[in-house]
């Protein structure tokens, strides 16, 4: 697939998820989760976030430091990747305990697609740090996760609410912990500017 077609697919996929999430999940469930979501959807968006943070540091700092901007962008991208893979492993165990689908691709897709608002908000904030208030838009990802879990993960009705609540709490805990650790490591390299 060429770059233009991949970019077009990524935009259309993101748009249909953000504008009509329930229909999006139903279509995905009917077609099956055949396309590898990490390589085709999540990784390009993660790279975009890292690039936006890098460029934002170079554009808006009064005294830009290339190594600082590069490591800050890399930290952001690596943090998202770690958060995804750790959350996917933990949530798969949780899903098994709640008698949900055994299809790991399905859970991986729900998790990756539900991170879209967080990635989009991080991209905008990374490129334009003054717009940090737009970070609140990332919370739409929780709604995407809830609708995706209800539609795709085949959890019994009596277990759904408990699974979703525990999954959201675990996601917040995992993301917070990994962000805190990565920020502390970053501060070790740049204690004066972090």
Residue 65: name the closest of 179, 185, 171, 194 by CA.
194
Residue 24 within any structural domain of the chain: no
Number of domains forming the structure of the chain: 1
What pLDDT band is residue 17 in, cutting at 50, 70 and 90? very high
Q: Residue 193: its pLDDT value, please?
A: 60
* 32 pLDDT more than 70: yes
Read off the pLDDT of each residue in 1-22 and give the average, rounded to a whole number: 89
Residue 18 within any structural domain of the chain: no
Residue 134 within any structural domain of the chain: yes
Residue 29 within any structural domain of the chain: no
- Rounded Cα distance between 55 and 80, Å, is 18
Residue 155 within any structural domain of the chain: yes
| Residues counted in the chain | 194
What pLDDT band is residue 35 in, cutting at 50, 70 and 90? confident
Contacts of 120 (CB under 8 A, 6+ apart): 14, 45, 137, 138
Residue 23 within any structural domain of the chain: no
CA 34, 35, 41, 47 torsion: positive or negative? Answer: positive
Query: How does 76-104 read in b/e, with b if 16+ C-beta sit within 10 Å?
Result: bbbbbbbbbebbbebbbebbeebebbebe
Domain range for 100: 36-188
Q: Residue 182: its pLDDT value, please?
A: 92
Q: Residue 1: its pLDDT value, please?
A: 56
Residue 13 within any structural domain of the chain: no
Q: What is the pLDDT of residues 46-105, one digit of tens each?
A: 999 999 999 999 998 888 888 889 999 999 999 999 999 999 999 999 999 998 877 889
Q: Residue 103: its pLDDT value, please?
A: 82
Q: Residue 194: its pLDDT value, please?
A: 54
* 118 pLDDT more than 90: yes
Q: What is the pLDDT of residues 141-194, one digit of tens each?
A: 999 999 999 999 989 999 999 999 999 999 999 999 999 999 999 888 887 665
Query: How does 113-147 read in b/e, with b if 16+ C-beta sit within 10 Å?
Result: bbbbbbbbbbbbbbbeeeeeeeeeebebbbebbbb
- Give the CA distances from residue 151 to residues 42, 48, 103, 130, 172, in Å, rounded to whole numbers and listed in that order: 20, 29, 14, 37, 21
Contacts of 21 (CB under 8 A, 6+ apart): 143, 144, 147, 148
Phi, psi of 148 (to 5 degrees): -65, -40
Read off the pLDDT of each residue in 120-133 and give the average, rounded to a whole number: 92
Residue 3 within any structural domain of the chain: no
Q: Residue 190: its pLDDT value, please?
A: 81
Q: What is the pLDDT of residues 128-140, one digit of tens each?
A: 988 889 889 999 9
Residue 10: name the closest of 31, 34, 41 by CA.
41
């Amino acid at each position: 697939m060429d770059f233009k077609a991949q970019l077009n697919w990524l935009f259309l996929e993101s748009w249909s998820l953000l504008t009509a999430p329930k229909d999006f999940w139903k279509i995905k469930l009917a077609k099956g989760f055949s396309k590898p979501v990490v390589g085709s959807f999540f990784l390009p968006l993660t790279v975009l976030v890292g690039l936006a943070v890098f460029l934002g540091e170079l554009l808006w700092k009064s005294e830009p430091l290339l190594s600082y901007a590069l490591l800050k962008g890399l930290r952001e991208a690596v943090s998202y990747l770690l958060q995804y893979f750790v959350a996917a492993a933990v949530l798969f165990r949780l899903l098994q305990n709640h008698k949900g689908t055994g299809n790991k691709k399905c859970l991986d897709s729900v998790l990756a697609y539900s991170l879209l608002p967080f990635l989009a908000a991080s991209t905008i904030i990374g490129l334009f740090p003054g717009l940090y208030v737009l970070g609140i838009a990332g919370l739409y990802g929780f709604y995407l996760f809830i609708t995706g879990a209800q539609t795709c993960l085949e959890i019994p009705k009596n277990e759904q609410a408990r699974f979703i609540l525990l999954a959201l709490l675990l996601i917040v805990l995992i993301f917070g912990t990994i962000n805190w650790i990565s920020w502390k490591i970053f501060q070790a390299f740049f204690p004066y500017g972090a």
